[in-house]
């Protein structure tokens, strides 16, 4: 049995428990344990990525109970990719939090570890009931992180976030109940084998359950019309938490990809590509409304939140084509958009710490301290998010456009992506000019209060901790943008690997055989 596969779930559980029991009052110990855990998780994810790329899909049966009767974790190239992305993001953003954001609550690092346990488990699980369990772990930990530090606006947004997700959880249980009632299984690989055999009289119930799951995953992915919770939640969350949440919407996208290519793909008979008529129109509206939100944003946090919604629309338009080429393009854009969105949230926080009472609002205010440096970082992330050359946003959109050339929706996809890219340029230019270019004149004392004073309060009154915090915050932001640049420089080999991953996803026989055994293909 391949015990390495369970470690991305087991390690953060053990470290999170240790943090709660033994290190909740010692911030230094908590920081060391949390950072070491994140570094180990990233190294482990990279190892699993190389392993599954060479050996193919691998499984881990908990308690040695065989699938489909027991709990099984499945590692394939897609799951490994998501593990690497999630844990890379978690480590970099944790470094930002070590600059002072983790001081505001006693259990920040424990919640961080439990959040990673939920994320990693969602990517590795091989059945839908345990996906529900990991979603609930995500919900509980993310709510704790969301309200970290307190505040009325943050608590209000957190309550809305929990309420929406509890409704989603209820629908999730209803959906898996319908699917289990019809097929007798919730194992993903076993479901792929049983869906084509469902009797015509039961197919309506099966489709109802599957479309309810699509709705649940759409909530996680912030897809129209269930996107409304995201801008307020992300804009009011602590910056490191909002940056980590950039991967949360991708959990929803991953679940959509996994369900509707594995169980409802080419081999599903009358149920083939069940989501296609619903996913593409919703994704188009998501892209459009997200970019309209970027134009009307009142703060950099809102701007970042609406840009996440728009990026999910772009990503799921490519997924909704349900071809291997389009999925390869979607995966490239997924990696890009996650890194770029996280960097934008961190930049918004650093601007807020340097602009007195104006915070990150898009309004005239005293000049931003360290404006050239922060403005340069904002300029890079704006180019990336808008999809302008030469960065990976441009390459990702170009790949999606190329993959849509033969689609019946090609004209709509091309028009929306190109048109909304122009809206993004206008929205980001407006925000950048208000924050970094235009300013009101202030006295020297007021400028200090509006510049570095609030940032200094976040760290410490003495010089050394303040400088260290600034280095961590600026350095981690630059690391995310360096990831965007690396994705651009190595676009060729990365795209080739992602195309192979997409091909494996669209030919799920190896996945099914790894879970059920080679005989499954002959049943």
pLDDT 10s digits, 452-484: 444 444 444 446 677 888 889 999 999 999 999
> Would you place residue 69 in the very low, low, confident or very high pLDDT band (cuts 50, 70, 90)?
confident
Give a yes or no: residue 218 inside a domain: yes
Q: Which of 252, 274, 296 delimits the end of a domain?
A: 274
Q: Answer for the pair 271, 196: CB distance below 8 angstroms, yes or no.
A: yes
Tell me, yes or no, whether 523 lies in a domain: no
Q: Give pLDDT, residue 439.
A: 67
Domain count, the chain: 2
Domain-embedded: residue 381? yes
Domain that holds residue 416: 288-489
Express each pLDDT in 215-265 by its tens digit: 999 999 999 999 888 888 888 889 999 999 999 999 999 999 999 999 998
- Is 319 in contact with 278 (CB distance < 8 Å)? no
Residue 518 covered by a domain: no
* Together in a domain, 316 and 405: yes
Question: Does 356 share its domain with 240?
Answer: no
Number of H helices, E strands in the chain: 22, 2
Residues 108 and 209 in one domain: yes
Contacts of 405 (CB under 8 A, 6+ apart): none
**153 shares a domain with 129:** yes
**Which of 318, 325, 323, 339 is CA-nearest to residue 496?**
325
308 and 337 in a single domain? The answer is: yes
Looking at the fold, whether 266 and 300 belong to one and the same domain comes out as: no
Whether residues 263 and 336 share a domain: the answer is: no
Q: Please tell me whether residues 305 and 212 are part of one structural domain.
A: no
User: Does the residue 226 lie in any domain?
Assistant: yes
pTM value?
Answer: 0.93
Q: Are residues 270 and 292 in the same domain?
A: no
Residue 369 in tokens: 């301290």
Q: Do the domain assignments include residue 520? A: no
């Amino acid at each position: 049995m391949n015990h390495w596969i369970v470690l991305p779930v087991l390690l953060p559980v053990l470290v999170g428990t240790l943090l709660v029991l033994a290190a909740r009052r010692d911030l230094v110990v908590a920081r060391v344990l949390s950072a070491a855990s994140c570094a180990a998780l990233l190294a482990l994810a990279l190892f699993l990525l190389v392993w599954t790329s060479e050996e193919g899909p691998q499984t881990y049966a908990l308690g040695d109970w065989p699938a489909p009767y027991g709990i099984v974790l499945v590692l394939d190239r897609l799951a490994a990719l998501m593990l690497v992305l999630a844990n890379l993001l978690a480590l970099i953003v944790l470094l930002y939090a070590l600059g002072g954001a983790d001081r505001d609550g006693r259990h920040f690092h424990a919640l961080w570890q439990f959040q990673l346990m939920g994320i990693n488990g969602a990517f590795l699980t091989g059945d839908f009931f345990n996906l529900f369990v990991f979603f609930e772990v995500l919900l509980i930990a993310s709510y704790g992180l969301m309200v970290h530090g307190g505040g009325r606006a943050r608590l209000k947004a957190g309550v809305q976030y929990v309420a929406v997700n509890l409704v989603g959880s209820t629908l999730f249980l209803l959906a898996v109940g319908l699917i289990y009632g019809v097929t007798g299984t919730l194992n993903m690989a076993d479901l792929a084998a049983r869906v084509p055999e469902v009797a015509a009289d039961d197919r309506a119930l099966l489709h109802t359950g599957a479309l309810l799951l699509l709705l649940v995953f759409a909530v996680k992915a912030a897809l129209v019309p269930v996107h409304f919770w995201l801008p307020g939640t992300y804009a009011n969350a602590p910056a490191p938490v909002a940056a980590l949440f950039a991967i949360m919407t991708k959990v929803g996208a991953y679940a959509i990809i996994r369900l509707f290519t594995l169980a409802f793909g080419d081999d599903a008979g009358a149920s083939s590509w069940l989501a296609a008529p619903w996913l593409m129109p919703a994704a188009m509206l998501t892209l459009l409304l997200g970019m309209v939100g970027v134009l009307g944003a009142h703060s950099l946090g809102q701007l970042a939140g609406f840009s996440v919604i728009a990026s999910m629309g772009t990503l799921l338009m490519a997924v909704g084509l349900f071809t291997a080429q389009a999925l390869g393009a979607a995966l490239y854009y997924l990696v890009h958009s996650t890194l770029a969105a996280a960097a934008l949230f961190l930049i918004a926080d650093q601007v807020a710490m340097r602009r007195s009472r104006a915070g990150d609002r898009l309004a005239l205010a005293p000049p931003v301290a360290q404006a050239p440096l922060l403005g340069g970082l904002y300029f890079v992330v704006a180019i990336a998010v808008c999809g302008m050359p030469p960065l990976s946003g441009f390459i990702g959109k170009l790949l999606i456009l190329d993959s849509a050339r033969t689609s019946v929706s090609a004209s709509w996809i091309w028009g929306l992506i190109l048109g909304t890219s122009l809206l993004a340029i206008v929205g980001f230019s407006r925000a950048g000019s208000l924050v970094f270019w235009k300013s009101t004149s202030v006295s020297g004392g007021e400028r200090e209060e509006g510049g570095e004073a609030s940032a200094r309060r976040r760290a410490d009154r003495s010089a050394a901790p303040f400088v260290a915090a600034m280095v961590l915050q600026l350095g981690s932001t630059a690391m995310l943008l360096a990831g965007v640049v690396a994705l651009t420089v190595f676009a060729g080999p990365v795209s080739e690997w992602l195309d192979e991953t997409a091909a494996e996803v669209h030919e799920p026989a190896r996945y099914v055989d790894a879970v059920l055994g080679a005989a499954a293909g002959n049943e």
